[in-house]
Amino acid sequence: MVYAKQRHKVLVHYVGKYLGAKRILGTNLQKAGLTLQRVVWSRRATSWDEMSNPGLDRVVGEVLRLVGDRPDANALDLGCGSGQLSIPLASQVKSVVALDIAPKMIELLRSKLETGGITNVTAAVGSVQQYGIVNGSVDLVCSNYVLHHLSDNEKLRFVKDCFEWLVPGGELIFGDMMFGRGSTADDRAVIADKVKILMKKGIGGYWRIAKNGVRYLFRFQEKPISLAAWVDMLKKVGFVEINTQRVIAEAGVICAKKPQ
Residues at the contact surface with ligand SAM, assessed by CB under 6 A: 34, 37, 41, 48, 60, 79-81, 84-85, 100-102, 105, 127-129, 144-146, 149
The CB-of-240 to ligand SAM minimum distance in angstroms stands at: 26
- For ligand SAM, the closer of residues 6 and 46 by Cβ is 46
The CB-of-134 to ligand SAM minimum distance in angstroms stands at: 18
- For ligand SAM, the closer of residues 79 and 170 by Cβ is 79
Q: Which helix (H) or strand (E) holds 245?
A: strand 240-248
Packed helices 152-165 and 227-237: angle between N→C axes, nearest 10 degrees:
50
Could you say which DSSP state residue 249 is in?
T
- For ligand SAM, the closer of residues 142 and 233 by Cβ is 142
* CA distances in angstroms from 200 to 9, 172, 194, 203, 205, listed in the order given: 62, 36, 10, 9, 7
What is the C-alpha to C-alpha distance for residues 123 and 61, in angstroms, rounded to an integer?
21
- For ligand SAM, the closer of residues 10 and 124 by Cβ is 124
- For ligand SAM, the closer of residues 85 and 123 by Cβ is 85
Looking at the DSSP bridge assignments, the partners of residue 93 are: 70
The CB-of-5 to ligand SAM minimum distance in angstroms stands at: 46
In this chain, which residue has its C-beta nearest to ligand SAM?
81
Packed helices 2-50 and 103-116: angle between N→C axes, nearest 10 degrees:
40
By CB atoms closer than 10 A (0-12, 13-18, 19+), residue 79 is: buried
The CB-of-64 to ligand SAM minimum distance in angstroms stands at: 11
The CB-of-124 to ligand SAM minimum distance in angstroms stands at: 11
Q: How far is CA 73 from the centre of its chain?
A: 21
